[in-house]
């Protein structure tokens, strides 16, 4: 008997294939558009002047400058600060949830952590703007509280939920046998969690860190509201501009076709490159975590 495919079957198969291809097309589209839109300004400004220039003065009437080194460094420092502040708390919370907490308490805290992840970033920005920024100004006796430090703290809070849930899953997947062996040697439960469970889950924890870095580098709105947005070379207590906020702050003003606007797309390209590198690292971490 000859195999025949009914027309309806064939139509649906094609339709589903088209859906799948659309996802690929979107990625290609994004990549191509970001590169196409980002390259002209880089070519005009010069790659080294663009990446290593220390001055960003895109609207200067006679001598505009387009150096994004301050933004690159701010994004890197900001992400690093968020990791330093957020990962320890997140990791210990995950360890608590996965191992130390009474199951009922863990069952209460996990949805709360999910809720924390669901809060829109402008809401974090608003609270940062109205609580954190004035508090920093008062405590540290600064002229203005909109600083890199404020942004780091907001970012740390924002990456906390993903750090917790990824680490939680990784810790829960550690075989029970490791813990039994450690307890049987006379280690206390806490010693067991920190010296056996945690190292055994290091792949997952690395993935949590990579995910956190990705989130922190990519966040725009919340830090737009707390970082002051002046393109200074970064220091902890000065007003700073990130790669993301560098795009965000000028996007609505830059005239179409101007070099300023094109340069914003070039910043986007740099950001895209950063994110891609982090994604690759994240996938490597996840793969290693899965293999043991």
Within positions 97 to 126, which residues make up the interface with another protein, using CB under 8 A?
97, 100-101, 109, 111-116, 118-126
Among 1, 2, 23, 255, binds another protein (CB under 8 A): 23
Which of 109, 237 has the CB closer to another protein? 109
Among 39, 51, 76, 89, binds another protein (CB under 8 A): 89
Which of 47, 191 has the CB closer to another protein? 191
Q: Does 61 sit near another protein (CB under 8 A)? A: no
Sign of CA dihedral 125, 127, 130, 132: negative
Closest CB 279 distance from another protein, rounded Å: 5
Within positions 190 to 249, which residues make up the interface with another protein, using CB under 8 A?
190-191, 193-196, 199-200, 214, 217-221, 224-225, 244, 247-248
Give the CA distances from residue 49 to residues 7, 75, 97, 172, in Å, rounded to whole numbers and listed in that order.
59, 18, 49, 48
Q: Does 12 sit near another protein (CB under 8 A)? A: yes
Binding mask 24-43 for another protein (x = CB under 8 A): x-xx-xx--xx--x------
Which of 143, 256 has the CB closer to another protein? 256
Q: What angle do CA 121, 125, 129 make, to 5 degrees?
A: 175
Closest CA to 40 of 243, 254, 269: 269
Separation CA 235–CA 144 (nearest Å): 14
**Site for another protein (CB under 8 A): how many residues?**
103
Give Cβ neighbours of residue 42 (< 8 Å, ≥ 6 apart): 50, 266, 269
Which of 78, 268 has the CB closer to another protein? 268
Which of 80, 115 has the CB closer to another protein? 115
- Which residues are 66's β-sheet partners? 56
Separation CA 145–CA 7 (nearest Å): 66
Helix (H, G, I), strand (E, B) or coil at 57: strand
Closest CB 227 distance from another protein, rounded Å: 12
Closest CB 92 distance from another protein, rounded Å: 3
Closest CB 207 distance from another protein, rounded Å: 12
Q: Does 20 sit near another protein (CB under 8 A)? A: yes
Closest CB 188 distance from another protein, rounded Å: 5
Give the CA distances from residue 160 to residues 134, 154, 209, in Å, rounded to whole numbers and listed in that order.
23, 10, 10
Within positions 136 to 195, which residues make up the interface with another protein, using CB under 8 A?
157, 160, 164, 175, 177-178, 180-188, 190-191, 193-195
- Which residues are 56's β-sheet partners? 66
Closest CB 62 distance from another protein, rounded Å: 28
Closest CB 159 distance from another protein, rounded Å: 12
Sign of CA dihedral 162, 166, 169, 175: negative
Closest CB 230 distance from another protein, rounded Å: 15
Give the CA distances from residue 138 to residues 50, 131, 232, 237, in Å, rounded to whole numbers and listed in that order.
37, 11, 22, 13
Are the CB atoms for 234 and 74 separated by under 8 Å? Answer: yes
Separation CA 51–CA 78 (nearest Å): 18
Which of 80, 181 has the CB closer to another protein? 181
């Amino acid at each position: 008997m000859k195999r025949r495919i009914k027309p309806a079957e064939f139509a649906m198969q094609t339709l589903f294939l088209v859906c799948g291809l659309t996802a690929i097309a979107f990625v290609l589209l994004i990549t191509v558009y970001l590169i196409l839109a980002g390259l002209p300004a880089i070519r005009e400004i010069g790659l080294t002047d663009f990446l290593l220039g220390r001055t960003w003065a895109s609207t200067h009437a006679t001598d505009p400058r387009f150096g994004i080194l301050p933004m690159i460094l701010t994004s890197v420092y900001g992400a690093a600060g968020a990791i330093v502040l957020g990962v320890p708390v997140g990791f210990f919370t995950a360890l608590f949830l996965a191992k130390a907490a009474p199951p009922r308490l863990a069952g209460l805290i996990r949805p709360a952590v999910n809720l924390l992840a669901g809060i829109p970033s402008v809401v974090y920005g608003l609270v940062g703007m109205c609580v954190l920024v004035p508090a920093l100004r008062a405590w540290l006796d600064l002229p203005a509280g909109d600083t890199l430090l404020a942004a780091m703290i907001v970012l740390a809070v924002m990456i906390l939920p993903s750090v917790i849930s990824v680490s939680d899953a990784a810790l829960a997947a550690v075989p029970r046998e490791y813990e039994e062996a450690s307890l049987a040697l006379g280690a206390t439960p806490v010693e067991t969690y920190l010296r056996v469970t945690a190292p055994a889950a290091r792949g997952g924890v690395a993935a949590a860190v990579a995910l956190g870095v990705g989130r922190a580098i990519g966040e725009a709105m919340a830090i737009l509201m707390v970082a002051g947005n002046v393109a200074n070379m970064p220091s902890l207590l000065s007003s700073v501009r990130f790669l993301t906020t560098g795009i965000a702050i000028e996007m609505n003003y830059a005239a179409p076709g101007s070099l300023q606007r094109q340069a914003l797309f070039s910043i986007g390209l740099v950001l895209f490159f950063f994110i891609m590198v982090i994604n690759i690292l994240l996938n490597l971490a996840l793969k290693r975590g899965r293999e043991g």
